[in-house]
């Protein structure tokens, strides 16, 4: 029986993934900063759910969480780095402490968890690492520069990690969701405290108080969870799993735009060769 270790299970995609796996009879290490937020999952699946309090910015907690998970279930087969939050700000508006916290949570937290689980996965020559990213990496919306940057860092690291681990029997999957019916745009979204008027028509439109998007019209997080399970359990897992039909369209449009620009500038680019 496989054991999944999932960060950020209190809400959103992490919670839906944990619940789907538990219903399927998998063993799941259900983590959250406060276990009160996942008490219902722990009580409904006492034989398969193991709750661990975890702040992914705390390296000591990461080590303790991984150690206790291995003591409970014997090994970790799948690590899902889901914990994180969004940050909206014009680049000029970004507060250094906010940006540092964003990277500590969304990048260095996953890196430290990966380093904690890899010795066991390498010893067994099996395992999977799933890093939750965002379509923001592709479309880089105004007002999401720092969020796109931190997810871009996560994806860049994941691409190299995949090449390092594939020969060892360990898969690495990046998941790029678009909009889903979660609280990502609410509790899980922070923004710069002091907007600059000159960015009102660009980054300003994505501030919470000005955002006109409707989260209730997003994708189904339960279906997203099933898609992630399918990808992990596939004999040929994708390097990047895009979630949501509109997200697929955005991804393809961005690829087409970059290809068209590359073709348009090919002559100039090629002149730099020897």
Written as one string, the DSSP assignment of 9-33 is -SSHHHHHHHHHHHHTT-EEEEEES
CA atoms within a 13 Å half-sphere pointing along the CA-CB vector of 97: 1
Set 45, 87, 146, 147: catalytic member: 147
Average pLDDT, the chain: 94
Residue 186 pLDDT grade (very low, low, confident, very high; cuts 50, 70, 90): low
- Residue 213: pLDDT above 70? no
What's the rounded mean pLDDT across residues 6-26?
96
% pLDDT > 90, the chain: 86
What's the rounded mean pLDDT across residues 171-196?
82
Q: Give SS3 for 208.
A: coil
The neighbouring-strand residues paired with 132 are 175
- Residue 42: pLDDT above 70? yes
- Residue 263: pLDDT above 80? yes
Q: Give SS3 for 49.
A: strand
Of 86-95, 111-120, 218-227, give the lowest mean pLDDT range.
218-227
What's the pLDDT score for residue 181?
A: 63
What's the rounded mean pLDDT across residues 43-48?
95
Set 2, 89, 133, 134: catalytic member: 133
151 labelled catalytic = yes
Residue 110 CA, distance from chain mean position: 9
Count of C-beta atoms within a 10 Å radius of residue 150: 25
pLDDT digits (tens, 9 = 90+) for 55-83: 999 999 999 999 999 999 999 999 999 99
Q: What is the residue extent of each domain of the chain?
A: 3-243, 248-274
Give the homologous superfamily in CATH for domain 3-243.
Answer: NAD(P)-binding Rossmann-like Domain (3.40.50.720)
Set 10, 45, 146, 151: catalytic member: 151
């Amino acid at each position: 029986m496989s054991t999944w270790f999932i960060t950020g299970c209190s809400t959103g995609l992490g919670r839906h993934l944990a619940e789907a796996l538990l219903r399927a009879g998998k063993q799941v290490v259900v983590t959250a900063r406060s276990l009160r937020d996942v008490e219902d999952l722990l009580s409904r699946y006492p034989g398969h759910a193991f709750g661990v309090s975890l702040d992914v910015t705390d390296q000591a907690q990461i080590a303790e969480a991984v150690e206790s998970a291995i003591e409970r279930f014997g090994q970790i087969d799948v690590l899902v780095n889901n914990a994180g939050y969004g940050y909206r700000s014009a680049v000029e508006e970004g507060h250094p402490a906010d940006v540092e916290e964003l990277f500590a949570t969304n990048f260095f937290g996953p890196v430290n968890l990966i380093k904690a689980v890899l010795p066991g996965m390498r010893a067994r020559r099996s395992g999977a690492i799933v890093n939750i990213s965002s379509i923001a990496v592709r479309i880089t919306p105004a007002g999401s520069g720092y969020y796109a940057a931190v997810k871009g860092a996560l994806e860049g690291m994941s691409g190299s990690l995949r090449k390092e681990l594939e020969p060892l029997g360990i898969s690495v999957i990046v998941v790029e969701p678009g909009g889903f019916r979660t609280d990502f745009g609410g509790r899980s979204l922070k923004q710069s405290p002091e907007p600059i008027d000159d960015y009102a028509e660009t980054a300003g439109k994505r501030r919470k108080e000005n955002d006109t998007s409707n989260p209730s019209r997003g994708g189904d997080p339960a279906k997203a969870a099933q898609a992630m399970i399918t990808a992990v359990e596939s004999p040929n897992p994708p390097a990047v799993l895009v979630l949501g039909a509109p997200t697929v369209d955005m991804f393809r449009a961005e690829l087409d735009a970059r290809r068209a620009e590359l073709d348009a500038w090919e002559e100039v680019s090629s002149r730099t060769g020897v």
